[in-house]
Amino acid sequence: MKPGLVIFFDVDNTLLDNDAVYAGLHERTAAALGPERDRRFWEIYNEVRAINDVVDIPAAIEQFQREFPGLPAAAELHRLVFDFPFAEVVFPTTPAAVAHAGALGLPAVLSDGDSRFQPHKISASGVAAMFDGRVVIRQHKELEFPQVEQLYPAGHYVMVDDKPRIHRALKARYGDTITTIMVCQGHYAAEDHDYHGADIVLEDIGELTSLTADELKRPAGAR
């Protein structure tokens, strides 16, 4: 039997402060590489992002190491990035939100990202454990939703995410079979104010604890 309700959570700036992760990573690489090489490293990061159409820090590190073979600081980069204290940037209200979702339906992580750094972040932060390991990572979740549905069949879906663009795309394609919840955390929420794809808008992930199963199952158009 299909579970009635599957509640997907994005990770970056939804469950943890990814803007803080990047601020911390910038500090770490700047200290290790010095300004010139640090600038080059983040340039490569953007080049990799443009070529692969996904953020891929390990690939950027490998490219940087090819450009600076024998540079001790380059060899250290992987450890610097992967050793980040990810558990410290989980939003304080995240555990309560996930627990509440677990009482109303089946919560799972649905994150965009690469296949090495992103799973590490989700595991090392403690987020994977909060979901009992239910973690799906895709390059473009809104385009790969049909495969995600196969993994988690449900009568109704909820997507909790900080990117207005994701809500617009999912809403346009899935209409009333999905409830889209925008969380106004992080830089995407500040840069893109077109929330028309979102059925529910929350300022903080913790506000999810005030929503009922009926509210999650009923998209805005049906209210």
Residues at the contact surface with Mg ion, assessed by CB under 5 A: 10, 12-13, 162
Contact 122, 111 (CB under 8 A): yes
Nearer to Mg ion, 163 or 217 (CB): 163
> Closest residue (Cβ) to Mg ion?
12
Shortest Cβ distance from residue 75 to Mg ion (Å)?
31
Residue 202 and residue 182 in contact, taking contact as beta carbons nearer than 8 Å: yes
Which of 10/17 has CB closer to Mg ion?
10
Considering beta carbons, is residue 10 or 114 the nearer one to Mg ion?
10
Find the shortest distance in angstroms from Cβ 14 to Mg ion.
5
Kindly state the smallest distance separating residue 20's Cβ from Mg ion, in Å.
Answer: 13
Q: Are 123 and 11 in contact (CB under 8 A)?
A: no
Shortest spacing between CB 4 and Mg ion, in angstroms: 26
- Cβ proximity to Mg ion: between 166 and 211 the closer is 166
Beta carbon nearer to Mg ion, 162 or 199: 162
Shortest reach from residue 15's CB to Mg ion, in Å:
9
Six token digits for residue 125: 């932060």
